[in-house]
Amino acid sequence: MQAFMILLALLVVHAHALDIAKLRLVASKHNLSCIYVFGDSSVDPGNNNNLETDQKVNFLPYGKDFYDSHPTGRFCNGRLATDLIADALGHTKFIPAYLDPNLTNAQLPKGVSFASGGSGFDDLTPQLSNVISLSKQLEYFREYKTRLGRVVGKTRAQKIVTNAVFLLSMGTNDFLQNYYVEPTRSKQYTIDKYQDFLISAMAKYIKAMHAEGARRLIMVGMEPFGCTPLVRALKGTIGCADDYNKVALSFNSKIKSLMATLGPSLGIEYFYTDIYGLVYDTIHNPGKYGFVEASKGCCGSGLEFGPSCKGLSTCADRSKYVYWDAVHFTEEMYKIISDEALKTLVKSLG
């Protein structure tokens, strides 16, 4: 699910309009070596493929617009925002999944994703779907560092990690799956106390990332998840579910407060990417961004996602839809989100 994900006057609305040369000059100036990705389905490129879970999409029409129309396990018709960011920075055309059996040694220094669809900050959330927890993602990262050291040498491996950007994008599943749809945590916490619980977990994991070498962190804020086609259908609302969106806004405020304190105390350069306003504006003014449909997904009837999308027909022009399925964005929408993340990163770096 969603939750989420990442130059000043160098940027306009779409990634293809970026001044790539200037962007890469900034990246080179600050020795940005690669991107390491942690999170949920918003940034999972296929780590769930070999898990015993229904939170995987290694089948068509997912990947319909990926290279060679190949379903990789990305919850999208094409590339994710993280892929587009890495490409814009000149690292790689797409970020591979760490658990991809075809991952090569040559790919290791260029960035890897440990993200898992269905995961969250709350350790209970991934248990509900049998997916990879954030603690397990960090365990895989430690394993990755050892492998990287064998490939490029320990000194260079340490330099790559230190100069990398860590990106963290998750949270939606904690609220939707773990609090509202399956009200496990709502029996234990008020929504405000549950947000505090998640912020505490987030702080713990960011400290763990820092201990593993993270010195630059892009923290992707929550999207207005009350606007997803799935939530609209479940709640029977014509427009967005405002109560859910208020939760997202409140949680974003808590994330920003945490990072303002935690970042400096750890010595981490942090870059908060606020996608809430961008996504909300796109949904309410789709024509402004080149879209024609923002209330339903492109797959099937527009209310399917995951296994229920398997083998279904899709809308003819995916570039005109904000949502690919009932939960996840199209590649075209991810282009807009990736621009926002790059803007945050480069503006902060200066």
What domains are defined for the chain? 8-289+330-349 (3.40.50)
Q: Is 242 one of the annotated active-site residues of the chain?
A: no
- Nearest one of 178, 184, 161, 170 to 121, comparing CA atoms: 170
Q: What percent of the chain has pLDDT over 90?
A: 85
Q: What is the pLDDT of residue 339?
A: 87
**Token code pair at residue 321:** 């839809």
Q: What is the pLDDT of residue 350?
A: 62
Q: Is 325 one of the annotated active-site residues of the chain?
A: yes
Which of 9-18, 125-134, 139-148, 287-296 has the weakest average pLDDT? 9-18
pLDDT tens per residue, range 278-321: 999 999 999 999 999 999 999 999 999 999 999 999 999 999 99
Q: Is the pLDDT of residue 16 over 60?
A: no
Q: Is the pLDDT of residue 6 over 90?
A: no
Residue of 113, 116, 174, 328 with catalytic role: 328
Give the E-state strand segments of the chain in sequence order.
Answer: 35-39, 112-113, 165-169, 216-220, 269-273, 293-297, 321-323
Q: What is the pLDDT of residue 19?
A: 64
Residue 27, phi then psi, degrees to nearest 5: -60, -40
**Token code pair at residue 297:** 């997904």
pLDDT tens per residue, range 70-107: 999 999 999 999 999 999 999 999 999 999 999 999 99
Buried b (16+ CB within 10 A) or exposed e, 259-269: beebbeebebb
Residue of 33, 40, 41, 339 with catalytic role: 41
Residue of 83, 100, 174, 325 with catalytic role: 325
Q: Is the pLDDT of residue 197 over 50?
A: yes
Q: Is 348 one of the annotated active-site residues of the chain?
A: no
The residues, any chain, with a CB within 8 Å of residue 302's CB and separated by 6 or more, are 229, 295, 296, 323, 326
The overall average pLDDT reported for the chain is: 92
Tell me whether the omega of the peptide bond preceding residue 286 falls within 30 degrees of 0, making it cis. Answer: no
